Amino acid sequence: MGIKFGPAGHSASFTAAGFKATVDAPAWLAGLGLNAYEYQCGRGVTIGEPSARAIGEAARAHGVTLSLHTPYYINLSSGEAERREKNIGYVLQSCAAAAAMGAQRMVVHCGGVGKQSRSQAMQHSRENVRLLLDAVEQAGYTQTLCLETMGKVGVIGTAEEVCELVALDDRLLPCIDFGHLNARTCGHCNSREEFAAVLDLLENRIGVGRARVLHAHFSKIEYTDKGEMRHLTFADERYGPEFAPLARLLRERGYEPTIICESAGTQAEDALTMKHIYEGVQR
């Protein structure tokens, strides 16, 4: 499989180079030396099947692995029947788009705690995850749902919570967003020891085999005591996290994750920086 690096959506330089259509992204990314791309459906699944198939063909032609981010408004922590039905609908729409373009992994946000207790929110999340898996299977899709760690304190999505949810079924994988974890802990996911603790947690909860092929997001993120504020670029020197300590751990442990960069406008360039850092560890 091998480790993969790429951006979430289009960086400013892609547009500046005169490109507008996602079908052009795989060739452009491959030209940079990147081999992953995460298609964004955060605001809804609006892509048609012909366009999705064309993107998939371009990605396969240029050796770029696709993943897809499902709508942001999925809320796994809700116990409301109407919300649960909507969650299933959004995920099945995402599955259809992902299947058409050949994207096997789909990133799914957890939900906010709101007025319920955190334990109740987690119970609802467990129930909703099972409902989603059943719906995906019954519809005949094979996409892997990657549950994401979240950046705001008031949202389900600590490393521990995501590990608990992903441990429910082998068809799930974690999407460990290291920038989110650093933001929600006010800077305490930014050292070799802190990164190692996250990887150890994964290995203990879901096994080394699944941990080593995790899905990951990485970007520097501004935060307050309530967690995530906004995504930054690798030029930022204040907030972090820094990739180098994590790169060394990934190399030492033989991990082969897909790492998607979510920097603000420089995601392709910063993904390439991560690739170069990782390659430097190998030598």
- DSSP label of 224: E
Quote the pTM value.
0.97
- Give the chain's end-to-end CA distance (angstroms, integer): 20
Q: Whole-angstrom Cα distance, residue 153 to residue 239? A: 17
Tokens 């997001």 correspond to 217
* pLDDT, tens only, 124-170: 999 999 999 999 999 999 999 999 999 999 999 999 999 999 999 99
Between CA 255 and CA 54, with CA 98 as vertex, the angle to 5 degrees is 110
Secondary structure of residue 257 in the 3-state scheme: coil
**Burial code of 121-151, b = ≥16 C-beta within 10 A, e = fewer?**
bbebbeebbebbbebbeeeebebbbbbbbbb
Average pLDDT, rounded, for the chain: 97
> What are the residue boundaries of the structural domains of the chain, listed by start?
4-282
User: Residues near 136 by Cβ (< 8 Å), separated by ≥ 6?
Assistant: 91, 92, 95, 143, 145
Q: What is the dihedral of CA 7, 25, 213, 245, to 10 degrees?
A: -30
pLDDT of residue 267: 98
Percent of the chain with pLDDT over 90: 99
* CATH, range 4-282: 3.20.20.150
Residue 48 φ then ψ, to 5°? -85, 165
Residue 282 has pLDDT above 70, yes or no: no
pLDDT band for position 283 (cuts 50, 70, 90): low
Query: For 182-232, what is each residue's pLDDT tens digit?
Result: 999 999 999 999 999 999 999 999 999 999 999 999 999 999 999 999 999
Tens of pLDDT, residues 252-270: 999 999 999 999 999 999 9
For 256, phi and psi rounded to 5 degrees?
-135, 60
